[in-house]
Structure 1
Amino acid sequence: MPKNAIISEVKTLSCSNSWRNYNFLRIVTEDGTVGWSEFDENFGSPGVTNVISQISHRLIGQSAMNHEHIREDLRDCTRPGSGGVVGQALGAIENALLDVKAKTLDVPCYALLGGKVRDKVRVYWSHCVSYRARTDHFSPGITDIEGVRQIGREVGEKGFTALKTNIFHYDDQNRISGWSPGFGRPHDPARNVERKTVKDLRKHLEVMREAAGPDIDLLLDLNFNGKTEGYLKLLREIEDLDLFWVEIDTLDPKALAYIRSHTKHPISSCETLIGLQQFLPFFREQAVDVAIIDTPWNGVWQSLKIAAAAEAYETNVAPHNFYGHLCTMMNAHFSAVVPNLRIMETDIDRIAWDAELFTHVPVYKDGYLIIPDRPGWGTEPNEAALHAYPPLETVGPAKKTPVPRLSI
């Protein structure tokens, strides 16, 4: 007789990851089964923890086996404020309920999601250069063109077949600096793309291509760092380069479709969308070659619905994954079952204590992540380690940068 998985406790935990915090949700049942999910408050999402605490009482006494019923109840009571941090809270709850249900049935989560269509998932090394440019957190850090060349070579040497990088400026001594006005670095609300950015982006990609070699796929992430005119300027400058995709964040599907129609490069987008309704206009407008789905934000069960809709529009999907190892495992199970998968994002550069925080870490072989067969997501936070690295009070989207001031 299966256990009924009646929920008795809902709790959030967090810890430091040096330059940001990791956030976790733990759901415990009356029979002692513990389900986990990982969520994020660093990527423009302050307050997810508070939303969870405000609605979690509605889970107590319910069965985690009925995760769709629970989510619909939570959706009903938060409908006027749906999306944003509310949607992310629902995603975190759904993912922890899936872990409970899978552990109750003693199966991997992918068994709940339809079963595997693949045993391994091709990954790309994300934030290549970007993370190591944080020299106060990564050692050795990357400060100049030689560091860019070194990490480009390292991708292939470590067995990976694809990398994704970002926009960098180079000075007259070939020292690098990141450029991301879409995230306030620098503060420039117009997000104009000027000549130096265009030329330096081409230089950066040429350096990475030369170092990585012709057999490594190069992905480029432009984020929210431009508007339609600026994105087109960047794409024209790099039109002749061999890129796997160019990732662009814009909330206007028609604008993105216009951009896509004016470049030969495949376009990926949608990583900041929540819910199938937000994705559908991008599918209808044929705005993307690859739809990126943030499964921690949306919930893996809901993400399957989005992937199925993408399939109906002959569009492949890729998970957004730049969080901790639990998120990587959650995305691995999603990637294992989705037929229309393109590739999976993962971060290879990790701080020293990252592995201590989880019971199991992802296994990579020849550029692929091997799907785990352990019950649930296949890893859990190590609670003792979480306590050893208390969360930082000075990180997050509203705290990490000085407030821009105008003269009076």
Structure 2
Amino acid sequence: MRITRATSLHADGGWRAFSFLKLETDAGLTGWAEYTQGLWSPALPAVIEALAARVIGRDPRSFAAIAGDLHAQVRFAPGGLNAQAIAAIENACVDIAAKAAGVPVARLFGGPYRETLPLYWSHCGSFRARDGEYFERVLGTPRLETLDDMKRLGEEAVARGFRAAKTNPIAFGPQGAVLLNPGFAPGTDPARTVDAATLSAVAAQLEAFRGGTGPDFAILLDANFGCTPEGFVRMAEQVAPFDLRWFEADVHGPAALADLRGRIAMPLASLETIYGRAGYQPHLAARAVDVAIVDVPWNGIAEALRIAALAETHQVNVAPHNFYGPLADLMTAHFCAAAPNCEIMEIEADDVPWKADLLTAAPVIADGRFHLPEAPGWGADVNEDAVAEHPWTRV
């Protein structure tokens, strides 16, 4: 079996593109992977095209050798676009290898350890606050404008069967809801400072949310790169009364992250922007996190599982970074099923109504759990007709 062609397709994901890599073979098997061309990776499709050209004629079942050769070729510039491009190629090869073996991907890696996966609702309220008009018009969701709306959102999460949800800092005021992202453009604050008004706003947000969810619901707060470590400490102190399952923060530097973990009174999750075992090792050795976040589309599922195994030797659980589209949900589910130390799966519960249509078989999600598909490969292919009906037309 040999790879004969590599192409990308891009579907409308509302506020972002759903991007898919398709690998075709001379044996009639096709492999799929999802990747993301976000603001941080606008040139990723071009990098994938360039690297995929180097694997034409290779046997996709040798996905480890293919990924190893590609990483060796880009060793002068590891991480970033190169790592994400190689991961997309590897993930599509893994899909083919599992289909050729007639097994689901998780079984290709010795799993599954579990066949239903606990979920948490990611960005709960965050994008409703940022893109309220779009959510109201296209998704039919009510606007998030007041603290009472935040309480009702907590009630909605429970009613939809979730037992956990993650939100980002949101301030509610006369102008409605404002998503607080001082670490990201636009509106970047280079110093990433946090003031008393912001801290009070986040506390009020979580108080309202907890009022809707009740005491037994797991709340996670993700502050991303929004503060310096000192700011994260102040924020964690402010939200401590709301019994968070974890506080998520991004800090580049094992010592700084370990110091942050030692100064807050709740579990710390991080590392979603780190690549490969070599990137994770110093953070794990420094005891910098309680939960290591691992991105399957960015690392490739084989390397993601090696990272999980490395974390397990440090007595650290993992959780996936998964704010993507429908195929990435399947890819992430197989990672969660094949990693014994996976704690919980992230998923976007607010999404475009045609998301499931983009797959040849819709995933089963019930009672706050994702049911691992039993079909070979990821469990479904990309529905190319549906992608054509919902093309991504923005640059």
**TM-score for both structures, normalised by structure 1:** 0.93
Q: Is contact 2:365–2:371 with CA below 8 Å preserved after alignment? A: yes
CA–CA distance in structure 1, aligned partners of residues 54 and 38 of structure 2? 26
Q: Which residue of 1 aligns with 2:190?
A: 189
CA–CA distance in structure 2, aligned partners of residues 239 and 359 of structure 1? 44
CA–CA distance in structure 1, aligned partners of residues 84 and 153 of structure 2? 33
1:96: Cα distance to partner?
A: 0.3
* 9, 29, 33: which one aligns with 2:29: 33
1:325: Cα distance to partner?
A: 1.1
1:131-176: per-residue Cα shift (whole Å, max 9, x none)?
22212321233222232122110111111100101101121x4821
1:229-278: per-residue Cα shift (whole Å, max 9, x none)?
11111112122320100000111111111111111110000001111111
Q: Is contact 1:99–1:377 with CA below 8 Å preserved after alignment? A: yes
Q: Which residue of 2 aligns with 1:170?
A: 172
CA–CA distance in structure 1, aligned partners of residues 305 and 194 of structure 2? 36
Q: Is contact 1:137–1:351 with CA below 8 Å preserved after alignment? A: no
Indicate the percent of aligned positions where both proteins have the same amino acid.
39
- Per mean C-alpha deviation after superposition, the further-off stretch among 67-76 and 354-363 is 354-363
1:365: Cα distance to partner?
A: 2.0
CA–CA distance in structure 1, aligned partners of residues 211 and 354 of structure 2? 33
CA–CA distance in structure 1, aligned partners of residues 222 and 84 of structure 2? 23
Q: Is contact 1:311–1:340 with CA below 8 Å preserved after alignment? A: yes
1:202: Cα distance to partner?
A: 0.5
Q: How does 1:270-309 map to 2 (within 5 A)?
A: 270-309=271-310
- Per mean C-alpha deviation after superposition, the further-off stretch among 351-360 and 115-124 is 351-360
1:30: Cα distance to partner?
A: 0.1
SS at match of 1:240: helix
- Classify 1:218/1:43 alpha carbon distance in 2 versus 1 (closer, same or farther; 3 Å): farther
Instruction: Give the unaligned 5+ runs of structure 2.
Output: 137-141
Q: Which residue of 2 aligns with 1:322?
A: 323
Q: How does 1:5-404 map to 2 (within 5 A)?
A: 5-42=1-38, 44-133=40-129, 134-139=131-136, 140-171=142-173, 173=174, 175-394=176-395
1:276-309: per-residue Cα shift (whole Å, max 9, x none)?
1111111011000000000110000001110000
Q: Is contact 1:16–1:389 with CA below 8 Å preserved after alignment? A: yes
1:310-350: per-residue Cα shift (whole Å, max 9, x none)?
00000000000010010010010110111111111011111
1:43: Cα distance to partner?
A: 5.5
Q: Which residue of 2 aligns with 1:404?
A: none
1:168-222: per-residue Cα shift (whole Å, max 9, x none)?
1121x48211110111242211110011111001000100001111111000001
**How many residues are matched?**
389
Q: Is contact 1:167–1:178 with CA below 8 Å preserved after alignment? A: yes
Letter in 1 for 2:243: D
Q: Which residue of 2 aligns with 1:400?
A: none
SS at match of 2:100: helix
Instruction: Give the unaligned 5+ runs of structure 1.
Output: 395-408
CA–CA distance in structure 2, aligned partners of residues 55 and 331 of structure 1? 23
SS at match of 2:97: helix
Q: Is contact 1:169–1:196 with CA below 8 Å preserved after alignment? A: no
CA–CA distance in structure 2, aligned partners of residues 353 and 366 of structure 1? 21
Letter in 1 for 2:214: G
- Per mean C-alpha deviation after superposition, the further-off stretch among 127-136 and 211-220 is 127-136
**TM-score for both structures, normalised by structure 2:** 0.96
- Classify 1:119/1:7 alpha carbon distance in 2 versus 1 (closer, same or farther; 3 Å): same
SS at match of 2:62: helix
Q: Is contact 1:144–1:176 with CA below 8 Å preserved after alignment? A: yes
Q: Is contact 2:356–2:363 with CA below 8 Å preserved after alignment? A: no
1:9-67: per-residue Cα shift (whole Å, max 9, x none)?
11111122121111110001101101000000115222111111112122111111111
CA–CA distance in structure 2, aligned partners of residues 354 and 117 of structure 1? 27
Q: Is contact 2:113–2:338 with CA below 8 Å preserved after alignment? A: yes
CA–CA distance in structure 2, aligned partners of residues 262 and 36 of structure 1? 43
